[in-house]
Amino acid sequence: MTAVLTGIGTALPPVTDQRALWDGYFRDHFAGGRAAERIFTGAGVVRRHAVVSPLDQDLSGWSTQERMELYDRYAPPLGHRAVTGALAAAGLDPADVGQLVVASCTGYAAPGLDVRLAASLDLAADTQRLLVGHMGCYAALPALAGAGDFVTARGRPSVLLCLELTSLHLQPPTPDVQQVVSHALFSDAAVAVVLRPGGGPGLELVDTTAVTDPTTADHMTWAVTDRGFRMTLSPRVPDVLAKHVHATVENLLVRHGLTTRDVRGWAVHPGGPRILDTVRDVLDLPAEVLRHSRHVLREHGNCSSATVLLVLDDLLTTGGLRAGDPVLAMAFGPGLTLYTALLRVT
């Protein structure tokens, strides 16, 4: 039995123009620094989404408790919309769901978002739940692997929701360049996918793989502070990824008798323009194959764990894929960790 991704649902908060964010808020927030403006204009982002835009309300001085109260307000309805859309796209009812997996690193409560959604969706009382927290941008792929394992072992559908509200973690003013980078990139989104046992059109989950380089653990962090969650994002991240991308991808593909030239769809997490350039160069890929990743970065920003699912959705919608085509998804995050997933169009 195989697990097949058969439905995707998205829910996006209001959109904000990147230039308007700089002119209307971040120019003053970063004291009009030229370096900060260059980072904003060079981030590859044109539009982003936010449940709370700094143009409307400045959260930079808020406590973590106050921010978590906002997460508890905004996350459940956004997640509900995404899951409802995914179930409709897959032709399933809530009663069909055997497992609900929720991945999020931007908010916490107990009972958690998974419990809130189980109630609002009217899932059966015996629906199994799994909450994947604080893994960061790559969380969608290990969560997808876990959901796929449930489907193949139990023969019942699983729903995965990746929901991130990074806008709630606006930090106090600082000259730290790493903070400028994170504030220039990150965005809010909720994306849900349905996996069901074999058969039907969609994407079969073939295999996943991971590599973590703990010697570079300080290059990317996501720390809980008294003023929300604070990102550390070293400019050395692309260089570290360059050391691992080729071997990781090659090992995954070789296991299935494939090479990079056989892959017909690439869903690479757009952590930023340099990361996409690094993947392109290390794997010697034509620039065109990463257009879906760049499109998502341009139109939605970096939505942490939800981003690679947005790229998959764009790829399925506009990528011209055909039955049998291999698809490779890739995401990166704290650790430093690189996750890949091989899928096949059914």
Catalytic residue positions, numbered: 137
Q: Is the separation of the CB atoms in 82 and 163 below 8 Å?
A: yes
Alpha-helix residue ranges (DSSP H) falling in the chain: 18-21, 27-29, 34-41, 64-90, 113-120, 140-154, 177-185, 237-254, 273-283, 291-300, 307-318
Token pair listed for 147: 């959901």
- How far apart, in whole angstroms, are the C-alpha atoms of residue 130 and residue 208? 19
Contact at 8 Å (CB) between 158 and 101? yes
Lookup: tokens for 261 = 């030239």
Cα–Cα distance measured from residue 189 to residue 69, given in angstroms and rounded to the nearest whole number: 18
Determine the length of the chain.
346
Say if CB 284 and CB 260 are below 8 A apart.
Answer: yes
DSSP assignment string, 38-89? HHHHTSS-SEEE-SS-TTT---TT--HHHHHHHHHHHHHHHHHHHHHHHHHH
Distance CA 47, CA 167 (A): 13
Report the distance separating Cα 27 and Cα 19, nearest Å.
10
Q: How many CB atoms lie within 10 A of CB 297?
A: 28
Contact (Cβ atoms closer than 8 angstroms) between residue 147 and residue 3: yes
Beta strand 15-17 with 47-49 is antiparallel
Q: How far apart are CA 144 and CA 161, in angstroms?
A: 10
Contact 101, 149 (CB under 8 A): no
